[in-house]
Amino acid sequence: MQMEDEIAAMGAVIGASLGGVKSMTATSGPGFSLKQENIGFAAMTEVPVVVVNVMRGGPSTGLPTLPSQGDVMQARWGTHGDHPIIALAPSGVREAYELTVEAFNMSEKYRVPVILLLDEIVGHVHEKVTLPDPLELEIVNRKKPAVPPEEYIPYATDETLIPPMANFGEGYRYHVTGLVHDETGFPTNVTQKIEAQLTRLNVKLDRYRDEILLFKETDTEDAEIGIIAYGSTARSSRNALKAAREEGIPAGLIQLQTLWPFPTERIRRFGRQVSHVVVPELNLGQIAHEVEHATGCEAEVVRVNRIAGEPIHPDEILARIKECI
């Protein structure tokens, strides 16, 4: 459905989701900025939605048709306040297909906005793929109320921390507001209820962190030099890793598919194993910052950055790997 702007598009998918329809919207950097207020609304009201952001260079209109990975921090912190979010980053066509399905599954299961964070290279790449049989895909639907409408309390929860969600139009009437609310869905200024609501919102993803974190490892068992990459730079990193191994350099790659929540514990263990961690990105080091935080002083983080609208060539990554020997 074509809306007049990105703000309206974000509002439309929230409304569609409240009506029981799995819904998504897609944009690039400037449009993603416009969607942020309503992404915050979806986070506060726990409405499942998927937002695709095909990153291109910025700030502002920046580089409209050239690649960047500059929206990584915006995906996590773009809207104001403390809020839960999941961001997934595919590196190719097959992963874009699989992670789109996963984005909907996570959004429905945890009642949280999910960002599918491609970059322009992945968004425009053409390659042959073998897609899975749709009948073999795991499809997750939101948990529905187990009580009749007159007994339904929309934000009442249990040990799962995720309240059942009734669809509008099915006889369940409830209030939805971006204000901090109690279990009834109506605004509250009661300190204890405010604390309980916001705490639950921000800890519910921690409970399911092991299910949310997705990453692929290549040659990490005996690695002495690490590479951490995502999106299109993971493609260059795989080629660089292959070339390094052919030259006898014990390098290993962790390709991040989940960027947020960040896989801090796995990166920390990797940092204890290797002497250096090479982090190639089409920005000035947004994930490198998280890697530095996770590894502490255990491994030296080597940044490979580009912001001129061109991809990072495998030879550049290989050259930095060799500097670490």
pLDDT digit string (tens) for 218-248?
A: 999 999 999 999 999 999 999 999 999 999 9
Name which of 243, 264, 254, 257 is nearest 321 in CA terms. Answer: 243
Q: Name the DSSP class of 317.
A: H
Annotation: CATH topology of 213-323: Rossmann fold (3.40.50)
**In the structure encoding, which two tokens stand for residue 258, read together?**
């989940």
Q: How many residues does the chain have?
A: 325
Query: Per residue in 272-296, pLDDT tens?
Result: 999 999 999 999 999 999 999 999 9
Is 157 within 8 Å of 184 (Cβ atoms)? no
- The Cβ of residue 232 has, within 10 Å, a number of other Cβ atoms equal to 27
- Residue 39, pLDDT above cutoff 90: yes
Residues 6+ apart with CB under 8 A from 23: 12, 13, 14, 16, 17, 49, 50
| pTM of the predicted model as reported, rounded to 2 decimal places | 0.96
What CATH number does the domain located at 1-212 have? 3.40.50.970
Q: Identify the pLDDT of residue 297.
A: 81
Mean pLDDT over each residue of the chain, to the nearest integer: 96
Peptide bond into 59 cis (omega under 30): yes
**In the structure encoding, which two tokens stand for residue 162, read together?**
């995720």
The amino acid present at 298, given as its one-letter code, is E
pLDDT class of 40 with cuts at 50, 70, 90: very high
Q: Identify the pLDDT of residue 262.
A: 97
> Half-sphere exposure of 239 toward its Cβ, with a 13 Å CA cutoff?
12
Q: Identify the pLDDT of residue 65.
A: 87
Average pLDDT over residues 127-153: 94
Q: Identify the pLDDT of residue 316.
A: 97
**Domain ranges, ordered by start, for the chain:** 1-212, 213-323
Q: Name the DSSP class of 184.
A: T
Query: Per residue in 297-318, pLDDT tens?
Result: 899 999 999 999 999 999 999 9
